[in-house]
Each structure stands twice: as structure tokens, then as C-alpha cells.
Amino acid sequence: MIARETTPLTFVPVQEEHLPDIMAISADAYPDSWTEGMFRDEFGNHLSHFYVAFDGATLVGYAGFWLVADEVHITTIAVRLDRRGRGYGRQLMDHLLESAGALGATLAALEVRATNAPAINLYTALGFRIAGRRKGYYSKTNEDAIVMMKDLS
């Protein structure tokens, strides 16, 4: 196996000033990107824990989850298109899972497009297991979602 260099990222809770970078990353990452209003709603939601990741001064990714009782639902994660494949997605997920664990969460769940091999590989490598499938979950593309879960306890 070839060891890969990965720059340690800095994680900070999202702020209004991060929105333009987040919108640009999201537009490249998703066929049905969240609107600015959806991100704003997310940032104002008391259940939501939303972080951005910096490599130096560059915002390279974002990710968030909702904490409900002792379960987290990972709502979104994306890495800047030109910074993928450097271990940043894994660092973002590690940060989410560490934050969730520190808040007392015992279970993490998420949905992922059935065709999204990079994301499914990432989650599998982190110990998520397939727990189900939701037919036509992504209405814009009529794609199925795979439900994945990880025990954090």
C-alpha cells in the first residue's frame, strides 16, 4: 500500500461569511444542490452541527449532522472538486464522528445515492454498514438511497 500525504485540516463551526464558498462547493458536488435558503435554515437549526474545513486559508469542504436524542443523522458532506482524493473527506467524517461522540451520540445514520461509489467506499471504510434502501429517494434524479449506519457506543 502506498502511504498518502494528507494535510491536517482545521475545522470551525459554520458562519455566514462561509456561505459563498459553501455554495460553490455544493454546486459542483450535487445534481440537486441545496439552495442558499436551505443552508441558512440549516445554520439556524438548533439540532444542526455544521462545520467547515480549512487547508490554510482555503475553505476545502463542509459537513454537518443533526443530533436528535442520542442519534446523529449526517445531513451533508462535500469536498471542493479540485481537492478531492487527498484524505479530506475522511478527515471531515472523522471530525463529525468525534464531535457526535463527544455529544453523547451512540448511533450515526446517513443516506447516500446508490450510485455514489466514492461516498459509499468512504463510509464503509469508516465502519458504516448498509441498513436499508429507499426507492426513488432523490426525486430530481429518481435515484435510490442506501441507508447506512454506524454504532458509536
Ligand X SMILES: CC(C)(COP(=O)(O)OP(=O)(O)OC[C@H]1O[C@@H](n2cnc3c(N)ncnc32)[C@H](O)[C@@H]1OP(=O)(O)O)[C@@H](O)C(=O)NCCC(=O)NCCS
The closest alpha carbon to 14, from 41, 72, 84, belongs to 41
> Is 111 assigned a catalytic role?
yes
User: Is 47 or 117 the residue whose CB approaches ligand X more closely?
Assistant: 117
| Coil/strand/helix, residue 141 | coil
> Is 123 assigned a catalytic role?
yes
Minimum separation from the CB atom of position 6 to ligand X (A): 8
Q: In whole angstroms, what is the distance from residue 153 CA to residue 149 CA? A: 12
User: Is 64 or 105 the residue whose CB approaches ligand X more closely?
Assistant: 64
User: Is 48 or 116 the residue whose CB approaches ligand X more closely?
Assistant: 116
**Which one from 42, 51, 62, 111 is the annotated catalytic residue?**
111
**Which one from 71, 123, 137, 143 is the annotated catalytic residue?**
123
Minimum separation from the CB atom of position 48 to ligand X (A): 16
Residue with cell 454504532: 151
Minimum separation from the CB atom of position 40 to ligand X (A): 20
Tell me how far apart the terminal alpha carbons of the chain are, to the nearest angstrom: 30
Task: Give the footprint of ligand X on this chain (CB under 6 A).
Answer: 29, 77-79, 84-90, 112, 116-119, 121-122, 125
Residue 96: partners with Cβ closer than 8 Å, 6 or more residues away: 49, 51, 63, 64, 65, 72, 74, 77, 108
Catalytic sites, residue numbers: 111, 123
